[in-house]
């Protein structure tokens, strides 16, 4: 009897379980704007008219369709256009993150003419480490070679942030 009672105590006293179900609260709010944990916004350095926000989503528009641009219809042919300090990314989270923007370059070409767009971070290339509260500013370099004018790039960049 003593051995049977001791065996029962071992089975019930181990703390092992087969399954557990528990309800917990989860609260997530999407804020793809200046209130997000990874804030993306115009840099505020005079080139804000090229940065658009559609539903809080950041965009770059160098076309005649941009209602805030001052009458321009694109970039010059056979030239390199630099738009410095265009947009910024700020870490508003609670830990250091490594930020990567991909792709950093876009190309459209026909025959011997090319349109090249580069997204250039200010301090490091291609990834940037941002501490809590740190901000990285990005510029845009657009080149048309040798002088074609029938180019258009309509694509997306992806911003990835990973805790270090």
Per-residue pLDDT tens digits for 106-128: 888 887 788 888 899 999 888 99
- Find, among 60, 144, 45, 69, the residue nearest to 101 by Cα: 60
Determine the Cα–Cα distance for residues 63 and 74; give it in Å rounded to an integer.
5
Query: According to the model, what pLDDT value does residue 157 have?
Result: 87
- Per-residue model confidence (pLDDT) at position 88: 93
| Residue 95 in this model has a pLDDT that exceeds 90 | yes
pTM here is: 0.76
pLDDT digits (tens, 9 = 90+) for 45-83: 888 888 888 777 888 888 878 777 766 777 888 889 899
Q: Return the pLDDT at 33.
A: 60
Q: Pick the more confident residue, 95 or 21.
A: 95
- Residue 127, both tokens: 């990834």
DSSP character for 76? P
Report strand pairing: 113-121 vs 158-163: unpaired
Beta strand extents in 31-157 (DSSP E only): 38-42, 51-54, 57-60, 80-91, 97-102, 105-110, 113-121, 127-130, 135-145
pLDDT at 1 over 50: no
Q: What is the mean pLDDT of the chain?
A: 80
* 131 contacts 154 by C-beta, under 8 angstroms: no
Residue carrying structure tokens 């580069």: 118
Strands 51-54 and 57-60, by their bridges, are antiparallel
**pLDDT higher than threshold 70 for residue 9:** no
State the sign of the Cα–Cα–Cα–Cα dihedral 84, 86, 92, 95.
Answer: negative
4 confidence band (pLDDT: 50, 70, 90): very low
- In which residue are the tokens 């990005």 written? 138
């Amino acid at each position: 009897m003593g051995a049977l009672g001791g065996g029962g105590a071992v089975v019930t006293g181990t703390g092992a379980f087969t399954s557990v179900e528990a309800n917990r609260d989860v609260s997530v709010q999407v804020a793809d704007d200046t209130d997000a944990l990874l804030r993306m916004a115009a840099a505020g350095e005079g080139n804000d008219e090229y940065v658009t926000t559609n539903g809080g989503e950041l965009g770059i528009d160098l076309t005649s369709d941009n209602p805030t641009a001052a009458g321009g219809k694109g970039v010059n042919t056979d030239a390199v256009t630099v738009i410095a300090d265009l947009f910024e990314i700020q870490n508003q989270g609670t830990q250091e993150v490594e930020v990567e923007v991909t792709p950093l370059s876009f190309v459209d070409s026909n025959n011997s003419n090319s349109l090249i767009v580069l997204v250039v971070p200010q301090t490091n290339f291609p990834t940037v480490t941002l501490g809590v509260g740190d901000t990285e500013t990005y510029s845009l370099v657009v080149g048309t070679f040798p002088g074609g004018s029938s180019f258009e790039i309509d694509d997306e960049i992806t911003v990835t942030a990973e805790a270090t």
